[in-house]
């Protein structure tokens, strides 16, 4: 059978980020030592909560034995950037790069490592953030209009992408599957210069 390890991390509210205490990662896996010391607490929080900790420390020996696969969850903004979100964008970009590096390292064990980078997906967090604006319906509509398909993705579509990578994409490793509804395509208003 297939033995996938889906790894996700998410944006945290400021209070939750401050409450998350970090220690230096020092994971040993098959004689290899991994130590990460990112400078930013936000960067450390997101990276530690993602696959670095769980896949290397706990799951890799099992996945190597079973020739399983790892599916990391990043974000479209890890590739294209986003205004006022440097720590978030940096960590999502790091996950994409880590996916590629792990794909190289784990190929000798026949472990596939891939990544999904969703764009706007309607989640409870998206709804909560929209509700905090002056016009929640307008905020949601703006989010929907950011995709060529004119709608946001769904959690179910993210699950289907993960199932594809886990079960059907047996010749794919090191891949970043962009699940964005075409948000990164076409020209749009991008100038940040105030006139």
Of 42-56, 116-130, 147-161, least confident by mean pLDDT is: 42-56
Percent of the chain with pLDDT over 90: 63
Please tell me which residue in 62, 88, 164, 187 is annotated as part of the active site.
88
Identify the pLDDT of residue 40.
55
How wide is the angle at C-alpha 153 spanned by C-alphas 149 and 159, nearest 5°? 135
Long-range contacts of 42-46 (CB under 8 A, 24+ apart): 42/17, 42/87, 42/88, 42/91, 43/87, 43/90, 43/91, 43/94, 45/12, 45/17, 45/20, 46/9, 46/87, 46/88, 46/91, 46/92
> What distance in Å separates the CA atoms of residue 38 and residue 176, rounded to the nearest whole number?
23
> Model confidence at 22, in pLDDT bands (50, 70, 90)?
very low
For the entire predicted model, the pTM comes to: 0.75
List, in order, residues 6 or more apart from 14 with CB less than 8 Å away: none
Tell me the pLDDT band of 15, cut-offs 50, 70 and 90.
very low
| Whether pLDDT at 17 is above 70 | no
Q: Check pLDDT > 90 for residue 195.
A: no
From the list 72, 66, 32, the residue with the least C-alpha distance to 52 is 72
pLDDT per residue over 58-117, tens digit each?
A: 888 889 999 999 999 999 999 999 999 999 999 999 999 999 999 999 999 999 999 999
Q: Of 43, 164, 59, which is closest to residue 93 (Cα–Cα)?
A: 43
Give the whole-angstrom CA distance, residue 94 versus residue 87. Answer: 10
Average pLDDT of the chain, as a whole number: 80
- 62 catalytic? Reply is no
Give the pLDDT band (50/70/90) at residue 25. Answer: very low
Q: How far apart are CA 111 and CA 69, in angstroms?
A: 5
Q: Which domains, ranges and CATH numbers included, belong to the chain?
A: 4-118+153-179 (3.40.50.720)
pLDDT bucket at 37, cuts 50 / 70 / 90: very low
Q: Which two tokens stand for residue 2?
A: 């297939």
pLDDT at position 30 = 38
Distance between CA 92 and CA 115 in Å, rounded? 11
d(CA 175, CA 159): 17
User: Mind listing the pLDDT tens digit for each residue in 148-183?
Assistant: 999 999 999 999 999 999 999 999 999 999 999 999
């Amino acid at each position: 059978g297939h033995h996938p390890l889906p790894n996700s991390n998410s944006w945290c509210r400021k209070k939750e980020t401050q409450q998350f205490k970090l220690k230096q990662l020092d994971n040993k896996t098959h004689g290899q030592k991994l130590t990460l010391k990112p400078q930013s607490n936000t960067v450390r929080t997101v990276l530690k909560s993602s696959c670095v900790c769980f896949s290397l420390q706990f799951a890799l020996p099992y996945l190597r034995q079973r020739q399983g696969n790892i599916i990391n969850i990043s974000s479209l903004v890890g590739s294209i950037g986003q205004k006022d979100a440097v720590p978030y964008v940096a960590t999502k970009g790091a996950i994409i790069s880590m996916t590629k590096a792990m794909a190289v390292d784990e190929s000798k064990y026949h472990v596939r490592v891939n990544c999904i980078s969703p764009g706007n997906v309607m989640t409870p967090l998206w709804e909560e953030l929209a509700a905090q604006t002056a016009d929640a319906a307008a905020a949601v509509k703006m989010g929907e209009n950011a995709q060529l398909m004119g709608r946001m993705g769904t959690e179910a579509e993210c699950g289907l992408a993960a199932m594809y990578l886990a079960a059907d994409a047996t010749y794919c490793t090191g891949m970043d599957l962009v699940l964005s509804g075409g948000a990164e395509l076409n020209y749009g208003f991008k100038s940040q210069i105030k006139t």
